[in-house]
């Protein structure tokens, strides 16, 4: 019998970072500066892109993270209604994100982003062992995108 069938947990889809009013004001100032540059260069599509991006960042940053139900099934990771097959990933690693533990799945496709799956510490050993039965474990380091996102508190 496969041990992964009985493993399920619930966790937030991402860890929210505190943002004060200064963060929002800075975002709007950067957006206005980039929009002014676009207007000066008469690059209207760039101006629209900046405005939409700033709006999307504000909406995304005030939205609380959803609780996601995860389950390890025989063929992969079930994340809500979506199932990701283990064959999509070449390895996994574990990272401690300021006291929040996550499995980081490295995709086989070269330009695909890594998948972060948070889990409760109480089930950590069971979850890591189950992933270890399916994928090789590698040390995970934050890439440049992770560092930028963390610095910007997105």
Which CATH number belongs to the domain containing residue 85 in this structure?
Answer: 2.40.50
Q: Residue 62 and residue 107: Cα distance in Å, rounded?
A: 29
Question: What pTM value is reported for the model?
Answer: 0.77
Each residue of 89-121: pLDDT tens digit? 999 999 988 788 999 999 999 888 888 999 999
Each residue of 118-140: pLDDT tens digit? 999 999 999 999 999 999 999 98
Same domain for 56 and 101, yes or no, is no
Domain count of the chain? 2
Domain of residue 136 covers 3-10+74-152
Strands (E) located in the chain: 7-12, 67-73, 76-79, 82-85, 89-97, 100-107, 115-119
Tokens standing for 71?
A: 């389950």
């Amino acid at each position: 019998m496969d041990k992964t069938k009985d493993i399920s947990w619930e966790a937030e889809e991402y860890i929210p970072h505190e943002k004060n009013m200064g963060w929002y004001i800075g975002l709007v100032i950067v957006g206005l500066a980039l929009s002014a540059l676009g207007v000066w260069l008469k690059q209207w599509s760039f101006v629209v892109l900046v405005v939409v991006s700033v709006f999307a960042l504000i909406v995304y940053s005030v939205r609380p993270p959803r609780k996601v139900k995860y389950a390890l099934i025989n063929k992969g990771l079930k994340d809500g209604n979506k199932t990701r097959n283990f064959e999509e990933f070449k390895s996994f690693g574990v990272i401690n994100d300021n006291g929040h533990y996550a499995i980081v799945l490295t995709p086989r496709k070269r330009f695909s982003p890594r998948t972060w799956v948070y889990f409760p510490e109480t089930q950590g050993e069971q979850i890591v062992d189950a992933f270890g039965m399916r994928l090789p474990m590698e040390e995970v380091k934050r890439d440049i995108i992770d560092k930028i996102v963390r610095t910007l508190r997105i």
